[in-house]
Amino acid sequence: MGLGLCEKVQQLSDHSSKRSIVKMNHERFRQFVRSSPRNYSVVVMLTALSAQRQCAVCRHAHDEFLILANSFRYSQAYSNNLFFAMVDFDEGPDVFQSLKISSAPVFMHFPAKGKIKKGDTMDIQRVGYSAEALAKWVNERTDITIRIFRPPNYSGAIVLTMLVLLVGGVMYLRRNNLDFLYNKTTWAVAALCFCFAMTSGQMWNHIRGPPFFHKAHTGQVSYIHGSSQGQFIVETYIVVILNAATVLGMIIMCEAAASKGDVQKRKVVAIVGLVVVAFFFSLVLSFFRSKAHGYPYSFLLK
């Protein structure tokens, strides 16, 4: 005989008071999420945290999901109208099979009334899985606003302090010779590094919190997102390398033109720079075409 509504709410409340995320197997999932009566919504994370599953994204997604659940648990919006649960593949493979899910992680919302709609499955490929993105999605599905409270992270302050101390130490040691501050090459390299970071999508990664890469259930790994509306973190590094190589080719050509020496040698260096620019710029266009389907332009490579 199934549990009554009051018993379900009471048991879920008891579990949530101990841990903000209720762990479920197939039986618990059927009893608390799929069966009636139910006057509460459940946000479920379907994942595979076991080391043998080799799902690096699942661990990061779980950390963000835990931040979301803890933020709700200690917020003024906390109530028995919403619960957070998790089903691990190794503990509930039947749940994955019943929902026809073949990859992880997946976030699903099971409303208190009515059937599951398309929007009740979060599109993490498009919006990422950061706690802020999860909170926005939960608000869209339940009208419950969750303000995210992240645990203090002092790593940024520590790195900044160490950087200031390092720069201050170098300037103190070389206080009698600060000519390096007027070195054009130093400032040029610093400016290029900043441009590479900003044009590669680092800020997008910071805001959206995308996965490092995507590993399908077949074991195939994707390093490039198939849509222009999303990207993986590893794409950032690829874009930086391609842009840096293109710029390097331009620098080689400029240096060949401005230098003084054997004309024949300068021509060879200039041609090498031109080849580098042409090849890597072609890769940049090809990279963009693979994401922005229908983009009409290409050069050398398709």
In this predicted model, what pLDDT tens digit does every residue of 39-91 receive, in sequence order? 899 999 999 888 787 787 888 889 999 999 999 988 888 888 899 999 999 89
Can you tell me the mean pLDDT for 271-299? 84
More confident residue, 211 or 33: 33
**Among the ranges given (13-17, 122-126, 149-153), the one the predictor scored with the smallest mean pLDDT:** 149-153
- Is the pLDDT score of 137 beyond 90? yes
Mean pLDDT of 105-114: 90
Among the ranges given (101-105, 190-194, 239-243, 293-297), the one the predictor scored with the smallest mean pLDDT: 293-297
pLDDT score of 109: 94
Which pLDDT band holds residue 2 (cuts at 50, 70, 90)?
low
Q: What is the pTM of this model?
A: 0.59
To the nearest 5 percent, what fractions of the chain are helix, strand and coil?
Answer: 55, 10, 35
Q: How far apart are CA 93 and CA 45, in angstroms?
A: 13
In sequence order, which residues have a C-beta less than 8 Å from that of residue 259 and are 6 or more positions away?
A: 266
Interstrand relation of 82-88 and 21-24 (parallel, antiparallel or unpaired): parallel
- C-beta contacts of 194-199 below 8 A and 24+ residues apart: 196/240, 196/243, 196/244, 197/240, 199/239, 199/243
Q: Give pLDDT, residue 173.
A: 79
Q: Given phi > 0 = left and psi -120 to 50 = alpha, else beta, which region is 84?
A: beta
Mean pLDDT (whole number) for 274-286? 90
